[in-house]
Amino acid sequence: MAEIPPTTDSSRGVRLIVAGTIVALLAPLAGFLGGTMVGSSGTVGELDPLFLWLFVGMVVGGIGGVVAITGALRWNRANQGSRRVS
C-alpha cells in the first residue's frame, strides 16, 4: 500500500480555509431552504420557522467563517516560518 505523506501545518490551513468558506456560503442558503420547506405558521405571537431556520443557518455560517479565518491564520503562520532566515 502507498503511504500517505504527513500533512504539514500549511496544508491543514488550506483545508480549513476551503471547508470553512464552503460552510459559510452554503449554511445560510440551506437554512433559508429548510425554512421555506417548513413554511410559515401564520400566527403573530409565535416564532416563525423561516426565521428560526435562517437564524440557525447564519450561526452555522458564522462558525464556518471563524473556521476559515483560523485556517488562514494557521496557513499564514506556517508560511512565515519558512521565510525566516537565520
Whether 86 maps to a domain, the answer reads no
58 lies in some domain: yes
Q: Looking at the whole model, is its pTM more than 0.85? A: no
Residue 75 lies in a domain: yes
Question: Tens digit of pLDDT for each residue in 3-40?
Answer: 656 666 678 889 999 999 999 999 999 998 998 888 77
In a domain, 84, yes or no: no
63 in any annotated domain: yes
Which burial class, exposed, middle or buried, applies to 20 when counting CB atoms under 10 A from its CB (0-12, 13-18, 19+)?
buried
What confidence tens digit (pLDDT) does each residue in 50-76 have?
888 999 999 999 999 999 999 999 988
Find cell 471547508 and name the residue.
19
- Asked, for residue 4, whether it belongs to a domain, the answer is no
CA-to-CA distance for 13 and 19, rounded, in angstroms? 10
Domain that holds residue 57: 11-38+47-79
For the chain, how many structural domains are there in total? 1
